[in-house]
Chains A and B, each alone.
Chain A
Amino acid sequence: MSKVYNWQLGRKMKYPYDENHPDWQFAFVFNINRCIACQTCTMACKSTWTFSKGQEFMWWNNVETKPYGGYPQNWDVKLLNMLEKVNPDKQAWSADKGGTEKPYGTFQGMTIFEAAKKNISPTGSQRALGYLPTDAEWRSPNIHEETAAGDTMKKGEWGHSTQLPEHKVWFFYLQRLCNHCTYPGCLAACPRKAIYKRPEDGIVLIDQERCRGYRKCVEACPYKKSLYRPTTKISEKCIGCYPRIEGKDPTLSSNGVPLETRCMTACVGKIRLQGLVKKAPDGTWANVPDNPLHFLIRERQVALPLYPQFGTEPNGFYIPPRWVPRSYLTQMFGPGVDAAIEQYVCPDRELLDVLQLFRASQQIIFKFKIEKGPKVAELEVTLPSGKKKTQEVYNDTVIGYNKNGKESIRITVEEPTFERGSEHVNSI
């Protein structure tokens, strides 16, 4: 096992291969606060890549309901339980946050790679701790997830029914696809060395000719985003819509500029921003403060990785939903949750401007610039702590540039309007 540096854990960790980083890394930010689970992203992906025989239950992109749902069912709870069993009461973070080296502190527990060596089964140890979901768990991506919002049944309406604990209706939607991890569990586990990260953009692919369908990747991917296709007897996964990333879509990208993936561009709720971040030779993120992803993830830390404690250094990041209990969110996104939400609820001038870039253009935005304007409003915002704060809104214009350095989109924040309530006679 090699020792590799995982910035999300704030420390080195064991991994089966040496560090070998791409020039650019595919990454994305999802703003969970705005998702209403319309599933347009899911269908955009499905209708593009997984509409064939044997792919019926294959959803490279899915949107699941938390805290109940998961595709496959309970994927995260199962793995968290396995880790807890191997390393009881020690899956914790220290609070020594500092700089780019350890932005969330240090994870003191075990990753899936480290825990695998302590979990010896009759067939030996795994390369990454994981499990193979049953067919039933894959069968339906959203089964029974939102029953809490269904019609109310009267007590005792069903004979011999079970009385469940009362649960108030709240949940949030979690959008998921392959995280194109820096240290992929699937790649580590593949006995055929059929899985690789592309040096040009860090997209993780399965070589369909080398794969023999042993399903070790399905077992090892902590996010369960490597899927087995029974008709071809090999595994498949999200390919990051790489023809679009390469700018080779002849209809939409005649000038060769990279485009966001299908699932990203289809998002009607404007919750998604995807792009490429420049990697430094040592594998860290190059300091490019005017890249919108770098700004949101590294500089402001308003977007956080999903289950960073698994140790794969995922490249998908989430702005956490602000109505959800913090302990739940901290388990899911690590210790940066409080600071991220605090910033997001009352965004400063620059953050508010950059947030407007979500789903503004199909072209990947490599750089943004802000043209400053006068102050147009002051809004009173209630922070999660209950304190009041004043948010200043400026008539700024944020400009997004594509890979060629050409302007792709220009968004101007205008003065907010205030709608009068229906109690006013002259209201519409």
Chain B
Amino acid sequence: MHESEHPKNSPVEPEDPMMLKAEPVSGDPEVMLACIVEEYARMGWGADEIMELFDKPFFRATNGLKALFGEDEIRKRIESTLRQCGVLRCKETHAEPETEV
């Protein structure tokens, strides 16, 4: 058996799963940052607690934003958002378990 053409020189198959495809989708990470901070402020989280979400590498979205903007900038934006929207506090009271009669 002798192939006339080396595979590396042959054209890429249209359905080749290894072919790299990428397309940018427009979006704004600054809006994403502001929204996430506000969401957690609405849940009653303070600046330090929210900052932890950005510090921990396990949370890739928030940690990625920290890599993009830098720690100081993230802290500044958290404080600025909290100054505007405040931290919403709620008091939860759970009912006592019902006892069987």
Contact = CB atoms under 8 A, between A and B. Distances in A.
A419 B83 contact: yes
Measured as residues with beta carbon below 8 angstroms from the partner, the interface class of chain A is 35 or more
Interface in A36-93: 36-38, 65, 67
B12 interface: no
A325 B88 contact: no
A167 B24 contact: yes
Interface in B84-101: 84-95, 97-98, 100
A410 B93 contact: yes
Given A254-B100, A406-B95, A422-B79, A33 B35 contact: yes
B12 to A, nearest CB: 12
Interface string A397-411: 000000010111111
Nearest to A152: B67
Contact of A168 (B29, B84, B97): B29
A416 B82 CA distance: 10
A313 to B, nearest CB: 28
Given A149-B63, A321-B35, A416-B86, A270 B92 contact: no
Nearest to B85: A379
A361 B65 CA distance: 32
B47 interface: yes
Given A36-B59, A149-B60, A417-B89, A67 B98 contact: no
Contacts of B1: none
A67 B82 CA distance: 29
A38 B62 CA distance: 11
B22 A164 contact: yes
A255 B84 contact: no
B83 A421 contact: yes
A149 B93 contact: no
A419 B35 contact: no
Given A169-B64, A407-B95, A409-B92, A421 B79 contact: yes
Given A65-B60, A255-B100, 10 more contacts: A37-B61, A165-B24, A170-B28, A325-B26, A377-B86, A380-B84, A410-B94, A413-B88, A415-B89, A419-B46
Interface of B: 17, 20, 22-29, 31-32, 34-36, 39-40, 43, 46-47, 53, 58-65, 67-68, 75-76, 79-80, 82-95, 97-98, 100
